[in-house]
Amino acid sequence: MKLLLFAAALLLNTTIAAAQQKPDEVWTKFEKKQRGEHEYSYGYKDAAGRIRVPARLGGFTSAQKFRHIIAVSEYKTMQQYYLLKNGRQVGRDSVYMFDYTFDCESEGKILFRDQVKNRVGFLDSQGRAIIPAVYNYATPFRNGLALALIGARRECWGGEEDTVQCEHLGWVGGRTVLLNERNQVQADSLPRRQLDDLNWYSLQINALAADTAITRTFRAVNGDRYTFVDYKKEFTGWLDQVFLPAVRSGEASQVVPLCYADLAASGKPFRGWEYFKGAAFVQKFYRPLLRPKLQDLRVDARNVAVFSESLNTLTFTSPRFQDFLTDCGAHFEAKYPAFSVVITEVDAVGQKQYDHQTHLTFIRTAEGYRLFMVSV
C-alpha cells in the first residue's frame, strides 16, 4: 500500500514539475475505449506524447486543448470541476454549462456560474474569480472584451408562467454591457441586434475616418467612440465587389483564388458530400453552376438572403479546418465567421416561389473570404 502511495505521489510531483517548467505548453486531448460500444474516457498528453492527465474524464469534457484551465467531468463519478495543470481542482459547485456544453478557456479566462443566484462570472487561468458572478449571461473574451447581460429576468420561450418546468428558458430585459478584463464597463446599454457580427479584433477608438459601409460605432461610457468592423457588412461588400465580378468575367481562373483549398458540394436529393480541391471544383462547376446562377445576381434581390453560418465540424474534418476552431473544437465564429448566400428559385415575374434553393457558403480566412461549400 505504501509503495502504491509513493508511486502515485511521485507521478503527481512529476506532472507538477513538468507543468511548472512549461506553463504555456498546450496539452491535447486523447481518448480511451471503455466497455460500452460507444463509451470513451478522456485524458491529456503533452507535446512529447507523455500522459499528463490520465483518461479518467467523461464525455462532457469538451476541451480539445488544455492551455491553463479546463472544465471537466469525471468518467466514473460525473463530478464536475475546473482542472489546472498542476492538478488542482477548483469550482466544484460552480461549473458553467450551456446547452450541455462546458465553456472553454479564452484569453486566459473561463466562465463560471453561481448556481444559487444563477449568475455568471469569470475565473482566470489560475482558477481565481477575477470577475464576480453578477451577470445573467456573458460571452467569452475576445481582444480583451466581453459582452455581458445584467439586470434581465427569466422567461419561457413559449410564454409559460412556470419558469421551473418550461423546456426552453431565455433572458428578457436587462442591459447589454461591454466589459474589459478588469470588470470595468466600457460601453453600456448596447443595441443587441447590432452586436451579432462584430469583429472584436478590429477595434478602433476615436477613428477619424471609419468606413461606415462596413463598420458600426458605439459610444463608450467615457465619451470615446468604439468602432468595429461588421463581418456581415464586410462580407456582402466583398461578395458584390470582388466575388461576383470574378464570376461574371467569364474567366474561371479568376474564381479559383477566391475558393478555399478544400471545398464540399452536394446535390438534391442529398447523397452525401463530395470533396474537391479549389481548382478542380471550379473546373467542374464554373460553367454549369456558378456562372449561370450568379451572372445576374443582386445581393439585395428579393430571392437572395445572406445568413450567418456555423462550420459543421462533422462535414469538414480536414486538418486545414482546424485553424477555424476554438480549443473546444467548435467553430471560432468570432474570428472566422461563415456566411451562406441562399438563392431561391422564382418564376419569370417573381411571383411564384419554387421549392428549390442554392446555398453558397463562404468563410473568412487570413487571406479574406473564400467559398468552401455549395449545396444545390
Mean pLDDT in residue range 33-48: 92
| Dihedral of alpha carbons 84, 88, 91, 93, sign | positive
Task: Sort 185 into a burial class: Cβ within 10 Å, 0-12 / 13-18 / 19+.
Answer: middle
The CATH number of whichever domain residue 319 belongs to comes to 3.10.450
Confidence tier at 170 by pLDDT (50, 70, 90): confident
Torsion of CA 20, 21, 25, 28, to 10 degrees: -70
Q: Is residue 13 part of a domain?
A: no
67 falls within a domain: no
Q: Give the amino acid at 154.
A: R
Alpha-carbon distance values, 350 to 74, 93, 353 (Å):
58, 58, 7
* The C-alpha cell that represents 354 in the structure block: 419554387
The answer to whether residue 363 sits within a structural domain is yes
Q: Which residues have C-beta within 8 Å of that of residue 222, sequence separation ≥ 6? A: none
Residue 190 lies in a domain: no
Residue 323 lies in a domain: yes
pLDDT at 89: 98
79 located within any domain: no
- Would residue 238 count as lying in a domain? yes
Mean pLDDT of 157-180: 81
Full domain range(s) for residue 357: 232-375
Is 90 among the domain residues? no
Q: For residues 307-342, b (16+ Cβ closer than 10 Å) or e, as one string?
A: eebebeeeebeeeebeebbbbbebbbbbbbbbbebb
Count of domains in the chain? 1
Average pLDDT, the chain: 90
Alpha carbon of residue 220 to chain centroid: 26
pLDDT tens, 190-211? 999 999 999 999 999 999 988 9
What confidence tens digit (pLDDT) does each residue in 324-370 have?
999 999 999 999 999 999 999 876 555 555 567 899 999 999 999 99
pLDDT digits (tens, 9 = 90+) for 123-161: 999 999 999 999 999 999 999 999 999 999 988 877 766
